[in-house]
């Protein structure tokens, strides 16, 4: 990065989300080139990071958009994405949301038979269907989105019901979709689910695309191996090539990465506001709590999924490594970013960097404890741009009617 964290904080304040667009572009390019099968349309799962500057950079790399809400569709449309390149993966959408999406011309990816029926009844001409291949994956049970215990998708064994519905209506099922979970580092489980979804696709005669969803993980921990992207891409390409030969005509292959594209581009910078050393007691040895000016309101992944984020102390280069608990400023005991983490002994005013926070960081931030949202900055080569100003307490309060 061309500018130091201290300068960024001096200019934009603390805490601060920073995204490096060079990393976003590099990941977008790497994923696209891992797939040799053509035609291929990668979609960006905008939920991971809807910051317009980030989404624009990915769209400029040739990506379409996977949206899961009317708001996400609106972001894509406002950025000028062609509706034909937007997939609205619905999940318990309302009829009103469905009608709006039809008017917008985006493809609705139906997650239940009753939604598909209502789309047909409303005069829908085309739809995609999300299937549950009954194989789930993911870094935590809360982000496993297939298998017997999830609310998502039409169970793959019900494909004949989808085919019958299609025969009896003017609606064509043009897409066959799955998304089995998030944070997958094992290409093998992904490939097994792909095979199930292709066996489903075989039963649907009017397809234009098959979408294997997102879920590619990143190595959050020091020394953790990255996913073998080349192997994953080769598997997807080979399976799809063999399938379309059987199917009798080429179909578009789609993937929907979110985290893989943006996680590593993002850092949450925070400032140390307190260093507290608790004494040893009869029950336990004392801990050192390093408090900072952000909390799970701004990065909930650790509290919610027991996720691990690398932390660097950017201010102390030579201080001795010390085991500390890095905690936030929210009034809950679960507001912990790391336990017994070895850091160069933090001092008041130090800047800490919570790494790999570009995916599901700001996207999941809240104003809990009536704390405003942080600012967002993008670094693009030697340029630094404010992407979202820090929310003020006045703005937060003015959102309600007094």
Q: Which residues are near ligand LLP by CB under 6 A?
A: 45, 47-48, 66, 89, 143, 145, 179, 182-183, 213-216, 256-260, 301, 305, 359-360
From the list 226, 221, 309, 302, the residue with the least C-alpha distance to 266 is: 309
The residue (of 34 and 89) whose beta carbon lies closer to ligand LLP is: 89
Residue 401 C-beta: closest distance to ligand LLP, Å: 31
CA distance to 22, 155, 347, per residue, from 147 (Å):
36, 9, 47
**In 256-354, beta strands by DSSP E:** 266-277, 288-292, 311-313, 321-327, 336-344, 351-354
Q: How far apart are CA 305 and CA 303, in angstroms?
A: 6
Q: What are the φ and ψ backbone dihedral angles of 44, each rounded to 5 degrees?
A: -95, 125
Residue 127 C-beta: closest distance to ligand LLP, Å: 15
The residue (of 116 and 359) whose beta carbon lies closer to ligand LLP is: 359
Q: How far apart are CA 270 and CA 47, in angstroms?
A: 23
Point out the catalytic residue in the list 51, 110, 292, 331: 331
Contact of 215 with 138, CB cutoff 8 Å: yes
Residue 402 C-beta: closest distance to ligand LLP, Å: 33
The residue (of 287 and 310) whose beta carbon lies closer to ligand LLP is: 310
Residue 298 C-beta: closest distance to ligand LLP, Å: 13
The residue (of 257 and 346) whose beta carbon lies closer to ligand LLP is: 257
Active site residue 331: yes
Q: What are the φ and ψ backbone dihedral angles of 101, each rounded to 5 degrees?
A: -65, -40
Q: What is the DSSP letter of 225?
A: P
Contact of 311 with 350, CB cutoff 8 Å: no
Residue 141 C-beta: closest distance to ligand LLP, Å: 12
From the list 40, 42, 1, the residue with the least C-alpha distance to 18 is: 1
The residue (of 102 and 146) whose beta carbon lies closer to ligand LLP is: 146
SS3 355: coil
How many residues are recorded in the chain? 402
Active-site residues, by number, are: 331
């Amino acid at each position: 990065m061309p500018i130091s964290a201290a300068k960024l904080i001096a200019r934009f304040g603390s805490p601060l989300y920073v995204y490096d667009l060079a990393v976003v572009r590099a990941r977008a390019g790497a994923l696209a080139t891992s797939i040799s099968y053509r035609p291929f349309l990668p979609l960006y799962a905008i939920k991971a990071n809807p910051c317009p500057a980030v989404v624009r950079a990915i769209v400029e790399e040739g990506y379409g958009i996977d949206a899961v809400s009317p708001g996400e569709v609106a972001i894509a449309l406002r950025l000028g994405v062609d509706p034909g390149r937007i997939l609205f993966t619905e999940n318990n959408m309302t009829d009103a949301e469905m009608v709006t999406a039809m008017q917008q011309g985006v493809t609705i990816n139906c997650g239940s038979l009753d939604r598909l029926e209502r789309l047909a009844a409303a005069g829908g001409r085309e739809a995609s269907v999300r299937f549950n291949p009954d194989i789930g994956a993911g870094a935590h049970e809360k982000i496993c989105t297939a298998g017997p215990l999830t609310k998502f998708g039409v169970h793959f064994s019900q494909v004949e019901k989808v085919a019958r519905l299609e025969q009896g209506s003017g609606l064509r099922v043009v897409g066959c979709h799955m998304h089995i979970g998030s944070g997958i580092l094992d290409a093998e489980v992904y490939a097994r689910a792909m095979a199930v979804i292709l066996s489903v696709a075989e039963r649907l005669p009017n397809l234009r695309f098959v979408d294997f969803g997102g879920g590619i993980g990143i190595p959050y921990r020091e020394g953790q191996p990255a996913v073998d992207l080349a192997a994953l891409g080769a598997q997807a390409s080979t399976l799809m090539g063999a399938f379309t030969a059987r199917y009798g005509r080429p179909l578009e292959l789609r993937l929907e990465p979110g985290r893989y594209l943006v996680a590593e581009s993002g850092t949450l910078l925070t400032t140390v506001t307190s260093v507290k050393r608790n004494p040893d007691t009869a029950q336990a040895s004392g801990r050192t709590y390093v408090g900072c000016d952000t909390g799970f309101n701004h990065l909930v992944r650790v509290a919610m999924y027991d996720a691990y984020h690398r932390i660097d102390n950017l201010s102390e280069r030579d201080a001795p490594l010390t085991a500390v608990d890095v905690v936030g400023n929210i009034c809950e005991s679960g507001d912990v970013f790391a336990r017994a983490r070895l850091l160069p002994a933090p001092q008041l005013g130090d800047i800490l960097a919570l790494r790999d926070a570009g995916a599901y960081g700001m996207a999941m931030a809240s104003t809990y404890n009536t704390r405003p949202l942080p600012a967002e900055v993008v670094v693009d080569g030697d340029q630094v741009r404010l992407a979202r100003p820090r929310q003020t307490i006045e703005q937060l309060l003015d959102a309600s009617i007094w």
